């Protein structure tokens, strides 16, 4: 596979809540790309203000709505990693939270706008275990909901434990709850389900599970790692690290030498338990260390 | 009899002639350690400057076709003060670690070089051929594209440090041999070449450049013949002037025979960059292939092969 961006058109936008939208992306031209597997990601290319309109095949297409893209904050393009949250008939879904300057601009994109997509990239969750525990924290539900959907054909018994700050952050749950044996939700403020953190509830829910899957804030995943090691249950983690390239060049996503872009995002507990940076340190865009 | 592939580059001893080129996986101690474990003869770090720098906007890399990689990273780095921690974390490594440095002005190069000398570096690579011009802000020329500017940098560094310096040159010049000679006369102890070749990629539907910086540099297998020619030009120019300074070959190396080609032009050793991207085991593989090639040719050490093709180029 060449590491290059192909153009995709935004086919459909689903508003998940005030801050989160799911974008369904369809290849703009006929291209062949491998069917994404749960846990994989794309590098999303958003072009800048200056390239907002283009004409093709008699139609005017937009990479962004020139009238709404903010020239000041988005004078330059960006290329950011995004977990794949669903896939259907050659369309890739990404679920995006309005969090920083780039995602803020992306939220202004409308159906019919063009974006660049490099990928699918990285490794993926392995379908292991018969009775699995899935632990999602906040936006971590995005790749996990794709995983749960794909698990439905594997005859796996799924228990989902989801942690959010507040009830409005509960996402994508309607798409997947029918595939789950049980769904437990915790909220920091008690506005839904159990008041507290997933780490409070995990030992209560834990039964004869033989595999754990998790994605969410790293502090939460660190708890899950410690728990899985204590119970001697294998676990798979979807990680996030700053990356310039997404293809094993820059090395900024290195976790003790493991490149999250290539060897991840999915790492298992066997590898992760020996990685000292996990749950403690990450590099920023300049490569400076930041404490999590 | 076994083949001896060891190299002495400015008193830095390497077990084999492969170095990790600057800019690939060289920004963190973890990834450097991983490359060392996988057989590189020496490691060159990502280019480090006087202060933290975020680099250019994405996309920073693009692969428009096979064996071609374009990049415009814009030298993201944490600055030397923080990066010295990464170097210290590698104190137990038995593979030589060579910091690559850059600056906006000659004096900045010297400050960073001094800091690394104090941190124990035995050799420094000086990156006068990056970053790719900041096209959005009108910066068009690299140090390495001006003989005078490059000489200024070399002199400023040599005034401050005692350790040897290796200057990495840009291929984007008319007479690279002249620049190499000027750099050596100014005090450079070694030359490495080439850095990336200036390049651009256009998205045909959007009718715009792909890289966030608009323009960048090309590396990968496809640049190898160009790099070989530039290296030959440098070596011939230095030879003609009677300067016995080691040259390190860089550009498109993926196999042991690729290394042999550079050695046949007389390089001391070589660097591998882009090929590491999809194959961290490339160093071991190349070394084994080179050993095999030398055995087949009946050679015992690198001096037997070095420069054997130069006679065609006088």
Residue range A151-162, pLDDT digits in tens: 988 889 999 999
Say which residues have a Cβ less than 8 Å from residue B118's Cβ, sequence separation at least 6. Answer: none
Would you call A76 and B77 a contact, using CB atoms and an 8 Å cutoff?
Answer: no
The Cα B171–Cα B250 span in angstroms is 11
Q: What's the angle, vertex CA A235, arms to CA A234 and CA A238, rounded to 5?
A: 155
Contacts of B53 in chain A (CB under 8 A): 286
User: Parallel, antiparallel, or unpaired: how do β-strands B208-209 and B216-219 relate?
Assistant: unpaired
* Among A5, A246, A251, beta carbon nearest to B28: A251
Contacts of A76 in chain B (CB under 8 A): 57, 136, 212
Q: What is the largest CA-CA distance in chain A?
A: 62
User: Parallel, antiparallel, or unpaired: how do β-strands A6-15 and A20-27 relate?
Assistant: antiparallel
The Cα B198–Cα B160 span in angstroms is 31
Would you call A114 and B30 a contact, using CB atoms and an 8 Å cutoff?
Answer: no
**Which chain A residue shows the shortest CA-CA distance from B135?**
A76
Which run of H or E residues covers position A230?
helix A218-231
* Among B24, B71, B76, beta carbon nearest to A287: B76
**For residue B208, what pLDDT band results from cuts at 50, 70 and 90?**
confident
Distances (CA, A) of B216 to B80, B143, B180, B219: 24, 16, 23, 10
**For residue A50, what pLDDT band results from cuts at 50, 70 and 90?**
low
Contacts of B85 in chain A (CB under 8 A): 289
The dihedrals phi and psi of B168, each to the nearest 5 degrees, come to -95, 120
The Cα A10–Cα A93 span in angstroms is 10
Which run of H or E residues covers position A237?
strand A235-238
User: Parallel, antiparallel, or unpaired: how do β-strands A41-46 and A114-121 relate?
Assistant: antiparallel
Q: What is the mean pLDDT of residues B201-209?
A: 88
Count Cβ atoms within 10 A of the Cβ of residue B202 and give its class: 0-12 exposed, 13-18 middle, 19 or more buried: exposed
ipTM for the whole complex: 0.90
The 3-class SS string of chain B reads CCCECCEEECCEEECCCEEECCCCCCCCHHHHHHHHHCCCCEEEEEEECCCCECCCCCCCEEEEECCEEEECCCCCECCHHHHHHHHHCCCCCCCCEEEEECCCCHHHHHHHHHHHHHCCCCCEEEECCCCCCCHHHCCCCCHHHCHHHHHHHHHHHHHHCCCCEEEECCCCCCCHHHHHHHHHHCCCCEEEECCCEEECCEECCCCEECCCCCCEEEECHHHHHHHHHHHHHHHHHHHHCCCCCCEEEECCCCCHHHHHHHHHCCCCEEEECHHHCCCCCHHHHHHHHHHHHHHHHCCCEHHHHCCCCHHHCC
Residue range B93-128, pLDDT digits in tens: 999 999 999 999 999 999 999 999 999 999 999 999
Least confident of A223-232, B10-19, B88-97, B201-210: B201-210
Contacts of B208 in chain A (CB under 8 A): 47, 50-51
Q: Cα-Cα-Cα-Cα dihedral of B4, B8, B12, B15, to 10°?
A: -10
The Cα A16–Cα A96 span in angstroms is 9
pLDDT at B135: 64
**For residue A201, what pLDDT band results from cuts at 50, 70 and 90?**
very high
Best of B22, B25, B43, B58 to mutate (most A CBs within 10 Å, chain A): B58
**For residue B130, what pLDDT band results from cuts at 50, 70 and 90?**
confident
Would you call A251 and B77 a contact, using CB atoms and an 8 Å cutoff?
Answer: no
Would you call B30 and A285 a contact, using CB atoms and an 8 Å cutoff?
Answer: no
* Contact indicator for B9, B248 with CB cutoff of 8 Å: yes
Would you call A77 and B59 a contact, using CB atoms and an 8 Å cutoff?
Answer: yes
CA distance A81 to chain B (A): 11
**For residue A77, what pLDDT band results from cuts at 50, 70 and 90?**
confident
Instruction: With a cut of 60, say whether residue A28 has pLDDT above it.
Output: yes
Would you call B76 and A256 a contact, using CB atoms and an 8 Å cutoff?
Answer: no
* Among A4, A77, A289, beta carbon nearest to B58: A77
The Cα B160–Cα B140 span in angstroms is 28
pLDDT at A220: 96
pLDDT at A106: 87
pLDDT at B21: 98
Say which residues have a Cβ less than 8 Å from residue A288's Cβ, sequence separation at least 6. Answer: B52, B78, B79, B82
pLDDT at A47: 79
Contacts of A271 in chain B (CB under 8 A): none
Q: Which of residues 67-126 of A touch B (CB under 8 A)?
A: 76-80, 114, 116, 118
* Contact indicator for A208, A130 with CB cutoff of 8 Å: no
Tally C-beta pairs within 8 A across A and B. Answer: 150
What residues of B are annotated to the active site?
A: 130
Best of B40, B66, B205 to mutate (most A CBs within 10 Å, chain A): B205
SS3 A279: coil
CA distance B166 to chain A (A): 22
CA distance B103 to chain A (A): 15
Least confident of A110-124, B107-121, B213-227, B241-255: A110-124
Q: Which of residues 208-267 of B touch A (CB under 8 A)?
A: 208, 210, 212
Angle between helix B256-264 and helix B224-240 axes, rounded to 10 deg: 30
The Cα B95–Cα B39 span in angstroms is 9
Inform me whether the C-beta atom of residue B77 falls under 8 Å from chain A C-beta atoms: yes
Q: Which of residues 79-98 of B touch A (CB under 8 A)?
A: 79, 82-83, 85
Q: What is the mean pLDDT of residues B239-244?
A: 97
SS3 A290: strand
pTM of structure: 0.93
pLDDT at A67: 45
- What is the DSSP track for A151-203? HGGGT-EEEEEEEESSGGG--SHHHHGGG-SEEEEEETTSSSSEES-HHHHHH
Residue range A86-120, pLDDT digits in tens: 999 999 999 999 998 889 888 888 888 888 999 99
Q: What is the mean pLDDT of residues A120-130?
A: 95
**Which chain A residue shows the shortest CA-CA distance from B34?**
A257
């Amino acid at each position: 596979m060449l590491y290059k961006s192909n153009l995709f058109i935004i086919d459909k936008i689903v508003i998940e809540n005030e801050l989160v939208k799911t974008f369904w992306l369809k290849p703009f031209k006929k291209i062949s790309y491998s069917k994404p597997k749960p846990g994989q990601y794309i590098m999303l290319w958003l072009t800048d203000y200056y390239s907002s309109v283009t004409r093709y095949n008699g139609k005017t297409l937009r990479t962004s709505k020139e009238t709404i893209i903010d020239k000041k904050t988005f004078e330059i393009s960006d290329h950011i990693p995004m977990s794949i949250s669903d896939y259907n008939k050659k369309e890739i879904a990404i679920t995006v939270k309005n969090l920083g300057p780039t995602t803020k601009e992306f939220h202004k994109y409308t159906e019919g706008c063009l974006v660049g997509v490099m990928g699918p990239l990285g490794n993926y969750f392995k379908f292991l275990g018969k009775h699995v525990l899935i632990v999602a924290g906040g936006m971590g539900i995005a790749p996990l909901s794709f995983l749960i959907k794909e698990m439905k054909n594997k005859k796996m018994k799924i228990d989902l434990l989801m942690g959010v700050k507040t009830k409005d952050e509960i996402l994508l749950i309607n798409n997947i709850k029918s595939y789950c044996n049980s769904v437990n939700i915790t909220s920091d403020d008690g506005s839904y389900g159990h008041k507290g953190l997933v780490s409070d509830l995990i030992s209560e829910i834990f039964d004869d599970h033989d595999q754990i899957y998790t994605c969410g804030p790293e502090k939460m995943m660190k708890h899950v790692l410690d728990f899985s090691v204590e119970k001697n249950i294998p676990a798979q983690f979807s990680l996030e690290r700053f990356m310039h390239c997404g293809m094993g060049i820059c090395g900024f996503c290195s976790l003790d030498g493991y490149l999250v872009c290539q060897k991840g995002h999915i790492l298992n507990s066997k590898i992760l338990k020996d990685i000292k940076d996990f749950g403690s340190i990450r590099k920023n865009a300049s490569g400076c260390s930041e404490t999590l | 009899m076994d083949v001896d592939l060891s190299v002495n580059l400015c008193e830095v001893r390497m077990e084999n002639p492969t170095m990790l080129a600057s800019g690939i996986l060289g920004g963190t101690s973890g990834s450097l350690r991983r490359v060392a474990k996988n057989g590189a003869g020496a490691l060159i770090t990502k280019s480090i400057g006087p202060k933290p720098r975020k680099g250019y906007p994405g996309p920073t890399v693009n692969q428009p076709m096979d064996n071609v990689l374009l990049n415009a990273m814009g030298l993201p780095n944490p600055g030397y003060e923080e990066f010295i921690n990464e170097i210290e974390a590698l104190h137990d490594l038995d593979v030589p670690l060579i910091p690559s440095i850059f600056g906006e002005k000659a004096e900045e190069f010297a400050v960073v070089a001094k800091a690394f000398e104090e941190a124990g570096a035995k050799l420094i690579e000086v990156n006068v051929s990056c970053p790719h011009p900041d096209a959005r802000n009108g910066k068009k020329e690299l140090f390495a594209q001006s003989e005078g500017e490059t000489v200024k940098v070399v002199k400023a560094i040599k005034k401050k440090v005692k350790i040897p310096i290796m200057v990495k040159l840009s291929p984007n010049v008319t007479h690279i041999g002249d620049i190499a000679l000027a750099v050596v006369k100014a005090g450079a102890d070694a030359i490495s070449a080439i850095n990336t070749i200036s390049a651009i990629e256009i998205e045909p539907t959007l009718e715009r450049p792909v890289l966030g910086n608009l323009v960048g540099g090309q590396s990968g297998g496809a640049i190898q013949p160009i790099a070989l020619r530039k290296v030959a030009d440098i070596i011939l120019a230095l030879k003609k002037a009677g300067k016995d300074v080691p040259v390190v070959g860089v550009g498109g190396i993926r196999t042991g025979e690729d290394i042999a080609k550079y050695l046949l032009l007389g390089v001391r050793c070589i660097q591998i960059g882009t090929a590491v991207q999809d194959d961290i085991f490339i160093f071991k593989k190349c070394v084994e292939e080179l050993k095999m090639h030398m055995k087949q040719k009946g050679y015992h050490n690198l001096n037997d092969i070095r420069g054997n093709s130069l006679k065609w180029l006088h």
